[in-house]
């Protein structure tokens, strides 16, 4: 009897957690759209600059804690697994609900730069390690991608 009660309680907490996530995602989208209008950014640029950066904070926290605990490969596994899920499962589900996905030339340019950013960690880890120089290279490349997205957003603002 106790085990059945715990199972139902776990299912109830899981459903409540999912409801909170869905509500939070809906609210986050509304606020992100407000910010994109306020800063006169495209929705894509706001997603890259604001939501993209905020979305990695939990993964980065797990990675840092794992590294401090002496298991950096665990943190790296979570980060890479999350990226694989984002680039396959999430895009697939979004297109499933959207019906199709059409990208304009600006978004395609962003996508190409993002693709390079996704490949960089693979290239840096090709020999199995990342040293201080490669760490700095990765952080600098992120900064360049961020600055490129900002520049494209500013150009869009001046042309509209």
Q: How many domains does the chain have?
A: 1
Tell whether 14 is covered by a domain: no
Tell me what the pLDDT averaged over the chain comes to: 80
Inform me whether the pLDDT recorded for 151 exceeds 80: no
Average of pLDDT values for 58-87?
A: 85
Nearest Cα to Cα of residue 48 among 60, 35, 65 = 35
Domain of 81, in residue numbers: 39-159
- In this predicted structure, what is the pLDDT of residue 24? 87
Q: What is the percentage of the chain residues whose pLDDT exceeds 70?
A: 90
Q: Give the Cα separation of 115 and 109 in Å (integer).
A: 10
Tell whether 16 is covered by a domain: no
Inform me whether the pLDDT recorded for 116 exceeds 70: yes
Tell whether 101 is covered by a domain: yes
pTM above 0.75, yes or no: no
Angle (deg, nearest 10), helices 72-85 and 57-68? 160
Inform me whether the pLDDT recorded for 83 exceeds 60: yes
- In this predicted structure, what is the pLDDT of residue 69? 92
Q: Which of 6-10, 63-67, 149-153 has the weakest average pLDDT? A: 149-153
- In this predicted structure, what is the pLDDT of residue 16? 92
Inform me whether the pLDDT recorded for 2 exceeds 60: no
- In this predicted structure, what is the pLDDT of residue 3? 58
The residue behind tokens 């706001």 is: 46
């Amino acid at each position: 009897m106790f085990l059945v009660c715990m199972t139902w309680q776990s299912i109830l907490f899981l459903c409540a957690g999912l409801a909170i996530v869905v509500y939070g995602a809906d609210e986050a989208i509304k606020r992100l759209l407000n910010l994109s209008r306020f800063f006169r950014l495209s929705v894509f640029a706001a997603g890259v600059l604001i939501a993209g950066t905020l979305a990695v904070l939990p993964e980065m926290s797990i990675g840092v804690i794992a590294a401090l605990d002496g298991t950096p490969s665990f943190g790296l596994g979570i980060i890479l697994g999350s990226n694989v899920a984002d680039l396959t499962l999430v895009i697939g589900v979004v297109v499933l609900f959207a019906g199709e996905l059409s990208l304009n030339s600006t978004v395609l340019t962003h996508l190409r730069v993002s693709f390079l950013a996704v490949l960089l960690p693979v290239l840096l880890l090709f020999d199995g390690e990342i040293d201080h120089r490669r760490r700095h290279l990765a952080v600098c490349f992120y900064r360049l991608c961020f600055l490129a997205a900002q520049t494209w957003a500013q150009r869009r603002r001046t042309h509209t």
